[in-house]
Amino acid sequence: MTSRTLLRLNKANIYHSYHGMQDRDVNLVLQKYKQKMKWCNRHRILDIGCGPGDLSVNYLLPLIPKNGQMLGIDISPSMIQYANFKYKDSRIKFKVMDISKPDIGEKYRLVFNSVFSFYCLHWIQDQWNTMKNIYNVLQSGGETLLVFLASSPIYTLYEILSTSPKWSPYMHDYKDAISPYHNSTDPESEIRNLLSDIGFNVIDCFCSPMSYTMPTKETLYKSIQAVNPFLNRIPQHLLEDYNNDCKTEIMKGNLCVTSEETEEVTFSYSLMTVYAEKPKYVNE
């Protein structure tokens, strides 16, 4: 294994170690919906944005019937490499794939009974092609359960840092890392209308105000670093300054609340949950 490979695996491992919020939210949503969803003997699942594979394995794999199969996909080769390195199960495969690409809907047309995506779709600006591909890969009567950020203080942090002359050269495309719904006044209607236009029967579509508490400021900083896509662009000699500016803006910009009694730090965000189905006997 090369040093470059070890570096990529280490970055995936960092993300794996600092995503307690995602883990909690996915568990809450699945507890609510797993009994409502339809399952069959040879059930086939697509997990979009599987990352390092832990949510796929810990939460989705136990739901699959004995003869079922799951495909976990992610745009990041390092995440897929980590998932394949860590998890071995004949019922699951991990592949590098971009769900927003037009050919995906044709390549996997009518393959899956269920499509899941947890904490991924806020990274994708092309929402139409993404949702259309989800529709196309589902079988008639298939279901999708999607959980993603509508707004988050980390997006506000990116907006602030991108205005700095020091950091703007490395964050010129910061809008690509912000949820398409971050500044929306009505994300529920936007997403519901989009899915309905594509052909989905939207069962649930709602935006929930959420909060999460980290044990310390340092844990919060590490969690942000784990998902910050701009860190790889910052020159090594400026990296410490960049991280310090991130910490300063988080506190100065009131992006979180620090407990006066403990070291805990709490931040608020908005989470979208979508549960929809492809109509039965839809005319392909």
C-alpha to C-alpha distance for 237 and 241, rounded to whole angstroms: 8
Q: Which pLDDT band, with edges at 50, 70 and 90, does 259 fall under?
A: confident
Q: Is the pLDDT of residue 237 over 50?
A: yes
Q: Is the pLDDT of residue 57 over 70?
A: yes
Q: Is the pLDDT of residue 122 over 80?
A: yes
- Beta bridge mates, 268: 211
Give the 3-state secondary structure of residue 261: coil
Q: Which pLDDT band, with edges at 50, 70 and 90, does 15 fall under?
A: low
Residues 276 and 282 sit within 8 Å (Cβ to Cβ): no
Q: Which pLDDT band, with edges at 50, 70 and 90, does 283 fall under?
A: low
Q: Which pLDDT band, with edges at 50, 70 and 90, does 28 fall under?
A: very high
Mean pLDDT confidence for 36-50 = 94
- The pLDDT score that the predictor gives to residue 11 is 57
Where helices occur in the chain by DSSP H, the ranges are 3-17, 20-33, 54-55, 77-86, 102-107, 127-137, 153-162, 187-198, 217-227, 239-252
CA atoms within 13 A on the CB side of 134: 29
Q: Is the pLDDT of residue 3 over 50?
A: no
C-alpha to C-alpha distance for 116 and 143, rounded to whole angstroms: 9
Domain map (residue ranges) of the chain: 3-277
Chain mean pLDDT for the chain: 90
Residues 123 and 49 sit within 8 Å (Cβ to Cβ): yes
Q: Which pLDDT band, with edges at 50, 70 and 90, does 282 fall under?
A: low
The pTM of the full predicted model, rounded to 2 decimals, is 0.91
pLDDT (tens digit, 9 = 90+) per residue, 135-168? 999 999 999 999 999 999 999 999 999 999 999 9
Minimal CA–CA distance to 265: which of 226, 221, 201, 205?
Answer: 221
The percent of residues in the chain predicted with pLDDT above 90, rounded, is 75
pLDDT (tens digit, 9 = 90+) per residue, 185-224? 999 999 999 999 999 999 999 999 999 999 999 988 988 8
Residue 204: its H or E element = strand 201-214
Domain 3-277: give its CATH code.
3.40.50.150
- The pLDDT score that the predictor gives to residue 66 is 85
